[in-house]
Structure 1
Amino acid sequence: MLTSLPRDDFRFISLDVETSCGDSASICQIGIACVGSDGDIQTWATYVNPLMSFAPFNIQLHGIGPDTVKDAPTFAEVWVDLLPLLSRHPLVQHSRFDEKAIDAACKSQGLPRPSLVWANSVTIARAAWPELKGNGGHGLGNLKQVLGLEFTHHDAGEDARAAAQVVLKAEAETNTAFHHLAGQKSAFQMAFQF
């Protein structure tokens, strides 16, 4: 059982992964940011042994290498504890990479494809700040500067927290609730009670 994994009910959970190489199944770190009804954010992250090699580019990008994960659990070991929490909340990712990586890691390790409800904080940011299109864009790096976010980019826990902050700031900017901003009102309301 994963220690210190949040267990409460949340409005939504942001998720981010880092990978060890060009294979999207090579998750070497998972981070989540759980957003409570009061906007409080609980962040949790763990290293993961990807059971794959590390590419120099990826190591340089996030600083995680074979030595970092040598005693870490595998994705399958992490997933058995993480899935019950994730499956009962709407999830946020910044781009669609994280969803694809989770699906690929499940397939790679012989696990069933999870039935999760995802929203994209890039789409939410585009709705809140359309003026950024062509003016730095809606990536976390530019949003960090424009919105005054403080986080360490390419750390899964930090990036998950940043994506959650983007959603909270978008709600405040547009005076619109998360599930409306996500553009999936009916899917979210059917899957989760708001």
Structure 2
Amino acid sequence: MSLPLPEGPFRFIALDVETAASDSASICQIGLACVRADATIETWVSFVDPCCAFSRFNTALHGIGPAQVRGAPAFAQLAARLEPLLGAHLLIQHSGFDKRAIAGAYAALGRLPPQWRWGDSVRIARRAWPEFTGNGGHGLAHLKTQLNLRFTHHDAGEDARAAAEVVLQAEGRTGLALEALLGKG
């Protein structure tokens, strides 16, 4: 079984997933970066048994294969544990992939995805650093160098933490609260 989940309350939780194959439902790792009111970040990560074959491309990208997920819980098991925590907080993803993957994983279970509140750190980065548009963009790889982020790309826990740090730096740079950066305040 994976580590105990962090206990809130949190200002927001950044969520990232890695997938075993081109099917976005094939989640093989999930990471959370839980941001407290004082901007400290507690990271949680778990391998997930995707219950499908791994593609060579995906394994080469993130280094996760059958050996790493052996004995890991399936998404259905993790979802039951995560739903109370994730349903109580604003979730931040970096692009739309993670929300699509979660929706796909629920669809594979024959369920509709929960109606969680989602925000996008790419959108936040565009507001905070408009000068990156057409000049490297707002992907995590470019933001890593421009914002001096230290993380290992394509690890769900590290990518979630990086997305959380993008939000925190954007708040500092703009002086805007998270809801305003999301265009909701």
TM-score range, shorter chain: over 0.9
| 1:149-160 alignment, distance < 5 Å | 149-160=149-160
Question: Contact 2:26–2:50 at 8 Å: present in 1 too?
Answer: yes
Alpha-carbon distance, 1:57 to partner: 0.3
Is 1:38–2:38 an aligned residue pair?
Answer: yes
SS in 2 for 1:82: helix
Aligned position for 1:100: 100
Alpha-carbon distance, 1:58 to partner: 0.2
Aligned position for 2:116: 116
SS in 2 for 1:42: strand
- Alpha-carbon distance between aligned partners in 2 of 1:82 and 1:183, rounded to the nearest angstrom: 27
Aligned position for 1:16: 16
Question: Contact 1:2–1:78 at 8 Å: present in 2 too?
Answer: no
- Alpha-carbon distance between aligned partners in 2 of 1:112 and 1:80, rounded to the nearest angstrom: 14
Letter in 1 for 2:117: V
Aligned position for 1:80: 80
Aligned position for 1:164: 164
- Alpha-carbon distance between aligned partners in 2 of 1:97 and 1:29, rounded to the nearest angstrom: 14
Give the unaligned 5+ runs of structure 2: none
- Alpha-carbon distance between aligned partners in 2 of 1:94 and 1:14, rounded to the nearest angstrom: 8
- After TM superposition, the structure 1 stretch with the greater mean CA deviation from structure 2, 102-111 or 59-68, is 102-111
- Alpha-carbon distance between aligned partners in 2 of 1:8 and 1:127, rounded to the nearest angstrom: 28
SS in 1 for 2:17: strand
Question: Contact 2:2–2:46 at 8 Å: present in 1 too?
Answer: no
Letter in 1 for 2:52: M
Alpha-carbon distance, 1:99 to partner: 0.3
Question: Contact 1:91–1:117 at 8 Å: present in 2 too?
Answer: yes
Aligned position for 1:182: 182
Letter in 2 for 1:165: E
SS in 2 for 1:33: strand
Over the matched positions of the two proteins, sequence identity in percent amounts to 56
Letter in 2 for 1:67: A
TM-score using structure 1 length: 0.93
How many residues align? The count is: 185
| 1:109-148 alignment, distance < 5 Å | 109-148=109-148
Give the unaligned 5+ runs of structure 1: 186-194
Q: Per-residue CA shift, 1:121-162, capped at 9, x if unaligned?
A: 000000000000111000000000000000000000000000
- Alpha-carbon distance between aligned partners in 1 of 2:39 and 2:14, rounded to the nearest angstrom: 13
Question: Contact 1:2–1:81 at 8 Å: present in 2 too?
Answer: no
Alpha-carbon distance, 1:109 to partner: 1.6
| 1:47-58 alignment, distance < 5 Å | 47-58=47-58
Alpha-carbon distance, 1:183 to partner: 1.3
Alpha-carbon distance, 1:165 to partner: 0.1
| 4+ residue runs over 6 A deviation | none
TM-score using structure 2 length: 0.98
